[in-house]
Amino acid sequence: DRDHARMKRLLDVMSAYLQTYDKNFAEELVEFKRSSGLSLPYQMANSFDKVLCDVPCTSDRTSVHQDEGNIFNVSRKKLRLKIPEEQSALLQSAMKCVKPGGSVVYSTCTLSPIQNDGVVYDALKQTWKNDGLEFIVEDLSTAMKPFRSIMRFADEFAATPSYYGQLVLPNVVNNFGPMYFAKITRK
């Protein structure tokens, strides 16, 4: 990521999950780079086993509580409409960085179908068309079973389910969501 605040937040989260009582493994196990994700394929094509592609999105939860800089402000309409384009470009970039057999996890914090399944569809189509790269979208429904008692998944409640990924609905009780993620593996 090129945003300093997002990088710090990511490092803090990873440090919380990848540590023991005597050592912090986050910086040893995960490579953190502060640069545009769009330039990575030129530097690191076919380099990684796993890539997390957590893209900028409309951040629905934050937008509800924040007036300043809110992406849903009328003055930011053009910027908001370009978000799926940027997301797809970032996902395509991530997909080019994984080795054959490697996987990309694409994630957002929005309920927007176009920013979720729509971006995955577009990135799959573009990487096939432009680069001849083949990917499969993994079915994560079995892996999510243990979480169904504590999270609300859209496929249980929504009339239009996600086709490629898992959509976790906002939950006031758990103070969590929305969250979307899809796992895409290179053939």
Catalytic residues: 109
Length of the chain: 187
**CA pair distance 107, 17, nearest whole angstrom:** 18
Note whether 183 and 104 are within 8 A (CB). Answer: yes
Cβ–Cβ contacts within 10 Å for residue 147, how many? 12
Q: Could you tell me which of 172, 174, 154, 171 has the C-alpha nearest to residue 163?
A: 154
Q: What's 133's DSSP letter?
A: -
CA dist 72 and 76 (Å) reads 7
Task: Quote the tokens at residue 113.
Answer: 């179908």
